[in-house]
Amino acid sequence: MTGRLLPRFAVVALLLALTIPRMAQSAMFGDGLLHATLARNMAIGVGSLWAPSYTQTAWIEYYEHPPLGLALEAIAFRALGDHLVVERLYSLMVLALHAVVIAGIWRRMSSASLDWLAVLFWLTPSIVSWGAVNNMLENTQALLTTTAILLMLDAARASTIAAVAIRSAAAGTAVVAAVLTKGPAGFFPLVAPLVFAWLMPSTAGAVDRRRRALAILAPAVVVLVAGAMLAAYEPSRHNLTMYVRTQLAPSILGQRGVSEPWGIAQHLLLGIVGRMAALLGLCWWLARPARGSAPAAATGRAAAGAFMLLGACAAGPFAFSARLSGHYLLPAAPMFAIGFASLAAAFVDARVRKTLIVMALLAVAVLASRRHRRDDALIRDLTAIERAMPRAVVIGACPDPRAARDWGLHTYVQRWFRVSLDARAQPVNGWFLRSDAACAVPDSCAPAAAGDSLTLFRCTR
């Protein structure tokens, strides 16, 4: 029993060490902070599911992403209250559930005693823990796409028409949820039934053609029906139309946020596949003196091929996109992880397992001791003016250069204080925030609190 529990304990400890120390701070990457702000606002009734709201002066209606991921996080705020720790707990819970789903897929294909191996491969790319630490929407989308794959694998193995229909419909629902969380990247699980039928026919056994056809068609039908319903409902149609018009189409066409042409190689081949290949090579090298270079079993090769292909389906479309960031590939990471782990399983004997455990625990010790800080100067300034800062109002701010364009400042004051900045160089509601020494302060204003570069003024008119 200890031999089975220890590697799982080591991997869980690694997951926590990769996330909790970096989450134990007030700051966060700008996009994740924005998502938390939108979700908090939705939870308290500012904005709605189909019209999220950022501040009273910027993105009063926010259509940069589909809204479901924000709504799911809003549920956490409704349940736990408006605390900075809520978005951290939500992201950590999503990451932990994702690990469980990955282990569940592994258990359906291979030895349950090695279910930790796929999770270890998944944690190897830095983008996986980074996405959770910084509250990225892809963290939730990846959980939903991997859940869809699990349900489709179960449908492929089901022995009755009813079981196939239920699991396939549930998988289609997960795909719809993934798309409504972060866009078209959530569609890729729809190819999974075809991939399983082609490369892993052993998973279905003697499944007749009707059940196989149902497993392929049912998820697609659910997606089509959901699409028709969303198109027929005016608020959702408006939200998704605006998302395509303002974010999706310009990003694909290279009209906003153009990435380097070699971005797919950097983020996928080096950041994900390269790291997992290195871990696979380490497993082979450690096992080589005792076991030679024995190939993986046929079932392992079939699973590896199937999940590598699914990973390529998840990541491939981004090769043709003008805009790419590493976290866009989060849904692909678990597919590649299961594929590489299927190959590595042939080399993981007792000695390799012990070595991997030791390495994981050493990484835990190093990661847990690191001090992580982001936006130190801004956080110090906001802390200095926190007691004097009003709540849930619009206040005046400098028009240039900082307050008019520094979305980090806008987001922090909205997330911490529910304050919206009106950057027109005049007091609003009796308050003015100076964010630059060159900014002229209205004569009617007197300092109420100050940090190194932020000064909050109370104004008489």
pLDDT in tens, 343-388: 999 888 888 888 888 888 888 888 877 777 888 889 999 999 999 9
Q: State the number of CA atoms in the 13 A half-sphere of 349 facing the CB.
A: 13
pLDDT of residue 405: 66
Which of 37, 27, 82 lies closest to 64 in space, CA to CA?
37
The domain spans of the chain are 2-368, 377-459
pLDDT of residue 292: 47
Scanning the structure block, which residue is given the tokens 């599911």? 49
Instruction: Find the range with the poorest average confidence among 37-51, 110-124, 180-194, 295-309.
Output: 295-309
pLDDT of residue 111: 83
pLDDT of 1 over the 60 cut: no
pLDDT of residue 178: 97
Q: What is the dihedral of CA 341, 345, 351, 356, to 10 degrees?
A: 10
- CB-count burial class (<10 Å; 0-12, 13-18, 19+) for 461: exposed
DSSP strand pairing (394-397 vs 420-422): parallel
pLDDT of 204 over the 90 cut: no
pLDDT of residue 20: 92
- In this prediction, residues 82-105 reach a mean pLDDT of 96
- In this prediction, residues 280-307 reach a mean pLDDT of 76
pLDDT of residue 262: 67
pLDDT of residue 205: 53
Note whether 364 and 7 are within 8 A (CB).
no
pTM above 0.75, yes or no: yes
Question: Binning pLDDT at 50, 70 and 90, where does residue 5 land?
Answer: confident
Question: Binning pLDDT at 50, 70 and 90, where does residue 160 land?
Answer: confident
